[in-house]
Chain A
Amino acid sequence: MKTGNVANPSRRKFIQGAAATAGSLVVAFNIPFTKDAGAQITTDEINAWVVVKPNDTVIVRIARSEMGQGSLTGLAQLVAEELECDWAKVTTEYPTPGQSLERKRPWGSFGTGGSQGIRGSQDYVRKGGAIARMMLVQAAADEWKVPVAECTVDKGIVSHATSKRSTSYGKVAAAAAKLTPPTDVKLKDPKEWKLAGKRLARLDTVDKTTGAQIYGMDLKLPGMLNAAVIDCPVFGGKVKNVDDAAALKMPGVKRVLRVGESAVVVVADTWWRAKTALDAVKIEWDEGPNAKASSAAFAEVLKAGLDAKDAVVGASIGDAPAALAGAVRKIEAVYSYPHQNHVCMETMNATVRYTPERCEVWVATQNGEAAHAATAEASGLAPNKCEVFKLHLGGGFGRRGATDYIRQAVAIAKQMPGIPVKMIWSREEDMAQGRFHPVTQCKLVAGLDDKGEITALHMRISGQSILAGLAPQSIRDGKDPVVFQGLNITGAETAIGYSFPNLLVDHAMRNPHVPPGFWRGVNLNQNAIYLESFIDEIAAATKQDPLALRRKLMSKHPKHLAVLEAVASRVGWDKPAPKGIFRGLAQTMGFGSYVAACAEISISGDGVLKIHRIVAATDCGHAVNPQQIEAQVEGSFVYGLSAALYQECTVKDGRIEQTNFHNYPSMRLADMPAVETIVMPSGGFWGGVGEPTIAVAAPAVLNAIFAATGKRIRDLPLKNHSLKA
């Protein structure tokens, strides 16, 4: 086994002009990243996506961020598939947002969210690979003066059978780069794939096992100082008074600064000293209008929204209110879902060097372009005077799609021109200043006829809108479409898998002062909990098997049903579970994929839940790397079940009460069920993988808990409930 860093984009990119010392990385200024970096990067490229070195090494450029989800490898597989190069010689690098701006966005979006990494770029990255292949083969044909149609290529070796000649990509790369790119490009049928679709190892694993991987927090620049920050713990509050006399006398402390009206910063030679001194700064806060806000008070606002008249319709079939008014029997339930923090293992951080001429940022971000725009805005410099260098992310989950922490770091560095400053949030700051999973409640009412058949369903969601907090300009006619994930009547993104004669899904928007954010799985998470739990409630109330009821409702939704049937078949739903084991089902569609799960649980005499096994199925259309899909499904269950079992951020006196892992626990290895993942790509579409299955873990477990105990858990997290018999 080699331990080279060939495949590590951050290392690759930084290796030029960088001196590695004792495991840390020191980057020399002005060598790799200044204005000539663009020129440097283009000299040997075939096109924006592919660079072929004379030694046949192929560098695939990856615009989307790698945060553990594996799309760095998956995207490289897709490019290499069309390129017909030797996978053993493939490595990757990140282009920068500044280069993208200069070259008019040849790499498309840098955004890495919404499970878009593969599906959102598969078409143009494959074309990038195919075009490069055509140019390389053409260059060989030109050199031999033979028709290109007579040439073949395999693993980066171009051959002309008639004349028994062959050459390698590396040898013709320089000539190929000069050719005009073809415009007529035919992509392979996925059935012909040789690299894509295979269980290939990731390209970024080795450095993560030796400590060599550099994350945002690990960056070290010459002359760099470190910053610790505290922002007003009450959202909307301000700094009233600061006594920094004691802190300024502490060792290593350089400055005590303000950022905006609400944050206090200590800059010191080391972060530990900055943090220690920050603890010694006496701060008086003006807590502002939210000083008395609480989760309990907000829950009352949401509750009132469940019956309010000001709701916006997300989905409607027939006349649900009329059908409900005429129903023989009604079933009704109210559910709720709390605020949650992403809790990336690596807390938010960014390193910035500002001068009046240029602002450079080194940051783990899910969206390089948004980070670049935020840098320009916060620094006050033109975008072409700013650059962002992406580093590996120690978790993203949506949190690192936001740019608040980048703006803060730029605002700090702007007060210390010429000196690079690394800002790191403590875990406590990270908990206090999250961009939280929105809080909602949901009232579901089903109408039944005299045969017990469902005649109507009304789902009223009351609560927070992410877009209202992040992008209010995108709210049209009071509607945040993201609220309805999993509940749309049709569409390729996130459609409901059931047919109801009458359906109404509406939303009463109620926004608390807690800032919302996209949180892995987003609104699909709680919407699936609400609907899948309630379907089981209807099944129980009408004495039907939960699978039988779903089959009845899903007959016009074959893709939704197929994943559910696959799970039921694998788990043996038609046979009794082993003694003491209870099962629950759930299905949904989100981020373009169809997913289902069956959980097997037991509950001990003293009410302790044990999740033994989850069988899950995913139809993501095309599967680029099945072993990484399995990793994502398992990981999504840890994320979703940690949330469902343990996690809530509660507000008291305007601030988040949870501060660290002791009062905001996360699942550990001992809690982890066996997971069996069925990857069943049916072709013809491209669905996402990172998020969809999160949504089925919790409702499958909640339905299994009902099967075991007869207790229907409607408020999360589960830790607030006793499961004792």
Chain B
Amino acid sequence: MAKLNVNGKVVDYTADEGTPLLWVLREQLGMTGTKYGCGIALCGACTVHIDGVPTRSCVRPASTVKAAEKIVTIEGLSKDGTHPVQKAWVALDVPQCGFCQSGMIMTATALLKATPNPSDKQIDDAMTNICRCGTYNRVRTAIKAAAKEMAGAKKVANALNIQHVNAGEA
């Protein structure tokens, strides 16, 4: 039995030597929010935080993550989906198919923690995740909206004038 600290809980797991953290999360721990997209750390769909550092979990053997290192996945980013980045994503309807968005959000939250008010260039450099639906411009807009909220802005105007009236999404 090996141990991992995932989303604030220490969990036991069993996996063969070399099994990537991604597949331990998905298949051993049942957390499927972190996605498989390429398996070679190129697309970013598998991004999680390890001690706050955005990490592509598809190439990181789980056995190399120490129990003392804190892993955060999309499921643990906030208790109820209310991290400012998640809120901005919802406000601006960023996802299309949504498959890459867990990785996008984890990368964006790490960026904003390190760089609270990122320039366009800093967003370009950090957000190297692939989205085939083409949500990039809304990703950029949402990162800027989240940055404003995290800096203490009381109300961030909806830059795309999207109307939220359905109980299911707003």
Contacts and interface: CB of A to CB of B under 8 A. Distances in A.
Interface of A: 1-8, 21-24, 67-70, 87-91, 198-215, 217-218, 220, 226, 251-252, 270-273, 276, 343-347, 392-397, 424, 426-427, 627-628, 630-631, 634-639, 642, 660-662, 666-670, 672, 674-675
Contact of A427 (B38, B75, B87, B124): B38
B43 to A, nearest CB: 6
Interface string B76-87: 010011100011
A346 B137 contact: no
7 contacts: A89-B167, A202-B93, A205-B169, A210-B74, A345-B37, A345-B133, A394-B35
Contacts of A635: 96, 133-135
A675 B137 contact: yes
Contacts of B97: 67-68, 344-346, 392-396
Contacts of B165: 87-88, 200-201
Contact of A88 (B20, B105, B166): B166
Interchain residue pairs A-B with the least CB separation, the first 3: A211-B33, A638-B134, A7-B168
Contacts of B31: 22-24, 211
Interface stretch (B49-57, B147-155, B156-164): B156-164
Nearest to B40: A660
Interface of B: 15-16, 18-20, 23, 26-40, 42-43, 45, 73-75, 77, 80-82, 86-87, 89-90, 93-102, 105, 123-125, 127-140, 160-170
A200 B93 CA distance: 10
Nearest to A346: B99
Contacts of B42: 660-662
A57 B77 CA distance: 30
Given A24-B30, A271-B23, A661-B38, A672 B166 contact: no
Given A211-B33, A217-B35, 17 more contacts: A1-B170, A7-B169, A22-B30, A23-B30, A23-B32, A90-B166, A208-B98, A209-B101, A210-B74, A213-B98, A226-B27, A270-B27, A270-B28, A344-B97, A634-B137, A638-B136, A660-B40
Nearest to A20: B30
Contact of A272 (B27, B95, B138, B162): B27
A208 B101 contact: yes
B33 A395 contact: no
Contacts of A8: 168
B65 to A, nearest CB: 16
A366 to B, nearest CB: 12
B137 to A, nearest CB: 5
B90 A2 contact: no
B38 A205 contact: no
B30 A7 contact: no
Contacts of B73: 211
Given A199-B161, A211-B31, A345-B131, A270 B98 contact: no
A307 B10 CA distance: 70
B40 A669 contact: no
A98 to B, nearest CB: 25
A637 B132 CA distance: 10
Interface of B is mostly: loop
B170 to A, nearest CB: 6
B124 A669 contact: yes
Which one of B32, B77, B86, B124 has the highest number of Cβ atoms from chain A below 10 Å of its Cβ?
B32
A88 B169 CA distance: 9
Interface of A is mostly: loop
A201 B163 contact: yes
A180 to B, nearest CB: 32
Given A209-B86, A209-B90, A270 B23 contact: yes
A255 B19 CA distance: 20
A273 B169 CA distance: 38
Contacts of A209: 81, 86, 89-90, 94-95, 101, 105
Contacts of A642: 132
Contact of A345 (B34, B43, B89, B139): B43
A251 B26 CA distance: 18
Contacts of B34: 211
B33 A70 contact: no
A252 B19 CA distance: 13
Contacts of A22: 29-31, 75
A660 B38 contact: yes
A427 B22 CA distance: 15
Given A213-B98, A662-B42, A201 B131 contact: no
A345 B45 contact: yes
A73 B87 CA distance: 19
Contact of A397 (B28, B132, B136): B132
Contact of B169 (A24, A202, A345, A639): A202
Given A205-B90, A345-B97, A7 B166 contact: yes
B69 to A, nearest CB: 20
Contacts of A70: 96
A47 B47 CA distance: 44
A207 B163 CA distance: 18
B81 A1 contact: yes
Contact of B93 (A3, A201, A217, A397): A201
B25 to A, nearest CB: 9
Which one of A8, A206, A252, A631 has the highest number of Cβ atoms from chain B below 10 Å of its Cβ?
A631
A443 B131 CA distance: 34
B163 A210 contact: no
A672 B124 CA distance: 9
Nearest to A66: B97
Contacts of A396: 97
Contact of A638 (B38, B128, B132): B132
B87 A1 contact: yes
Nearest to A638: B134
Nearest to B138: A631
Nearest to A218: B32
Contact of A68 (B16, B80, B133): B133
Contacts of A394: 35, 97-99
Which one of B29, B134, B137 has the highest number of Cβ atoms from chain A below 10 Å of its Cβ?
B134
Contacts of B38: 427, 660-661
Contact of A627 (B16, B27, B139, B160): B160
